[in-house]
């Protein structure tokens, strides 16, 4: 049950009824007992989400004899970010304490960091990650200012004539000249929509005979390469970019826990399934297996 979304579980329940003429919940009630009966809650539509019940389950997990890490993991990973915000505020109302503070007293290490990150609203979490990383080179600061100023065209239309024009400028500003015109790369990569960029990169490849990410690798280094490469890979496929990043986090020198947690938490409700599929195709093994092999304990269970 835990491997499917709530909407998928509703489909399973409906299909079960159609195929066997019986109610899945009723059949499970006959065969399950004790704590396993709680699985029936996952078969109910997400509209029946009860933050009071969930907050009470968390309080019991934290304040009982020994911390029930399994219950904490199940609660935090089986609800959406918006539901976790409801649980957090409900916990405060019911018990007069901050859920985060209670978790801090009972947890520790990377598992604590991961649980606390799951309780932060998505944009607040990403803003906090960005703030903690604010030690940039001058060129990198220029790129980030361009991105943060939100001047990127976010329309979904593609202007093919513009793509041809911008592809020529990129070619002339890079491999076609001595040195690199960083300002033109900055302008183009930070101002056009991702779909327009993808079309620009297609025309660039036809014109130059090599890919845009190959050109970025040859023309830039350091932080500037990192951010330009991220833009290029993301324009082609967010899932591909994050699959590459996760592989680097896991198989680099030591596990980059912070980056891995940031990616998994921020993409968990967006495209993590796509990322897992791309990861499997590119690296011939499962993301879940790589994470399991590189992490341990409750931290591993949470992921």
Summarised one tens digit per residue, pLDDT across range 62-83 is 887 778 888 888 788 777 788 8
The most confident of 71-75, 91-95, 246-250, by mean pLDDT: 91-95
What secondary structure does DSSP assign to 61-105, as a single string? HHHSSS--HHHHHHHHHSS-HHHHHHHHHHHHHHHSS-HHHHHHH
Whether the CB-CB separation of 115 and 107 falls below 8 Å is answered with: yes
pLDDT for 136: 58
CB-based contacts of 74, cutoff 8 Å, min separation 6: 2
183-230 pLDDT, tens digit each? 888 888 888 888 999 999 999 999 999 999 898 988 888 878 888 888
pLDDT for 276: 93
| More confident: 155 or 298 | 155
Q: Tokens standing for 177? A: 């000249």
- Decide which of 3.30.450.20, 1.10.760.10, 1.10.220.10, 3.40.50.80 is the CATH code for 238-302: 1.10.220.10
Other C-beta atoms lying within 10 Å of the C-beta of residue 6: 18
Banded pLDDT at 115 (limits 50, 70, 90): confident
The H or E element containing residue 18 is helix 6-20
Q: For 116-134, what is the mean pLDDT?
A: 71
Q: Tokens standing for 90? A: 């409900």
Banded pLDDT at 4 (limits 50, 70, 90): low
Q: Is domain 138-236 in CATH 1.10.220.10, yes or no?
A: yes
Q: For 247-261, what is the mean pLDDT?
A: 80
Whether the CB-CB separation of 215 and 175 falls below 8 Å is answered with: yes
* 53, pLDDT greater than 60: yes
Q: Which of 48, 66, 65 is nearest to 10 (CA)?
A: 48
Average pLDDT for the chain:
80
Question: Cα 101 to the chain's mean position, in Å?
Answer: 25
- Give CA torsion, residues 54, 56, 59, 65, to 10 deg: -110
Q: How far apart, in whole angstroms, are the C-alpha atoms of residue 255 and residue 16?
A: 42
Half-sphere exposure of 257 (CA within 13 A, CB side): 14
Q: Tokens standing for 109? A: 């290490």
* 48, pLDDT greater than 80: no
Banded pLDDT at 140 (limits 50, 70, 90): low
> Do 50-120 and 138-236 have matching folds?
yes
Q: How far apart, in whole angstroms, are the C-alpha atoms of residue 147 and residue 126?
A: 15
The most confident of 26-40, 111-125, 170-184, 198-212, by mean pLDDT: 198-212
| More confident: 297 or 186 | 186
* 108, pLDDT greater than 60: yes
% of the chain surpassing 70 pLDDT? 80
Domain ranges of the chain: 1-48, 50-120, 138-236, 238-302
Whether the CB-CB separation of 130 and 169 falls below 8 Å is answered with: no
pLDDT for 256: 77
* 177, pLDDT greater than 60: no
pLDDT for 150: 55
Q: Tokens standing for 300? A: 């591993």
The most confident of 189-193, 256-260, 281-285, by mean pLDDT: 281-285
Q: Which of 89, 104, 80 is nearest to 52 (CA)?
A: 89
Q: What is the DSSP letter of 130?
A: H
Banded pLDDT at 168 (limits 50, 70, 90): very high
Banded pLDDT at 84 (limits 50, 70, 90): confident
pLDDT for 72: 85
Q: What CATH topology corresponds to 1-48?
A: Annexin V; domain 1 (1.10.220)
pLDDT for 200: 94
Q: For 150-156, what is the mean pLDDT?
A: 71
Q: For 87-104, what is the mean pLDDT?
A: 91
Q: What is the CA radius of gyration of the chain?
A: 24
Question: Cα 46 to the chain's mean position, in Å?
Answer: 22
* Superfamily of segment(s) 50-120: Annexin (1.10.220.10)
Query: SS3 of 150, please?
Result: coil
Q: Which of 148, 174, 167, 117 is nearest to 227 (CA)?
A: 148
Long-range contacts made by residues 81-89, C-beta under 8 angstroms, separation at least 24? 81/118, 81/121, 81/122, 81/269, 83/49, 83/51, 84/118, 84/119, 85/119, 85/121, 86/49, 86/51, 87/51, 87/54, 87/55, 87/58, 88/119, 89/51
Whether the CB-CB separation of 250 and 242 falls below 8 Å is answered with: no
């Amino acid at each position: 049950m835990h491997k499917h979304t709530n909407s998928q579980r509703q489909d399973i329940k409906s299909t079960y009824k159609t195929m066997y003429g019986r109610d899945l919940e009723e059949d499970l009630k006959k065969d399950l007992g004790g704590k396993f009966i709680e699985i029936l809650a996952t078969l109910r539509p997400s509209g029946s989400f009860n933050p009071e019940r969930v907050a009470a389950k968390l309080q019991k997990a934290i304040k009982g004899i020994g911390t029930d890490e399994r219950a904490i993991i199940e609660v935090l990973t089986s609800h959406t970010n918006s539901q976790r915000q409801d649980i957090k505020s409900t916990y405060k109302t019911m018990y007069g304490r901050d859920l985060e503070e209670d978790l801090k007293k009972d947890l520790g290490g990377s598992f604590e960091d991961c649980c606390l990150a799951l309780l932060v609203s998505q944009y607040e979490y990403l803003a906090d990650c960005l703030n903690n990383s604010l030690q940039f080179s001058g060129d990198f600061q220029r790129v980030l200012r361009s991105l943060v100023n939100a001047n990127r065209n976010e329309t979904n239309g593609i202007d093919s004539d513009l793509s041809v024009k911008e592809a020529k400028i990129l070619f002339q500003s890079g491999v076609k000249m001595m040195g690199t015109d960083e300002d033109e790369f900055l302008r183009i990569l930070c101002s056009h929509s991702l779909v327009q960029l993808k079309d620009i990169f297609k025309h660039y490849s036809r014109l130059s005979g090599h890919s845009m990410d190959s050109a970025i690798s040859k023309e830039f280094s350091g932080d500037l390469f990192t951010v330009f490469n991220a833009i290029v890979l993301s324009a082609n496929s967010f899932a591909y970019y994050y699959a590459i990043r996760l592989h680097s986090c896991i198989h680099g020198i030591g596990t980059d826990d912070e980056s891995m947690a940031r990616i998994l938490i921020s993409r968990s409700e967006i495209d993590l399934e796509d990322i897992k599929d791309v990861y499997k195709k590119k690296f011939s093994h499962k993301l879940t297996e790589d994470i399991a092999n590189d992490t341990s304990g409750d931290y591993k269970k949470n992921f």
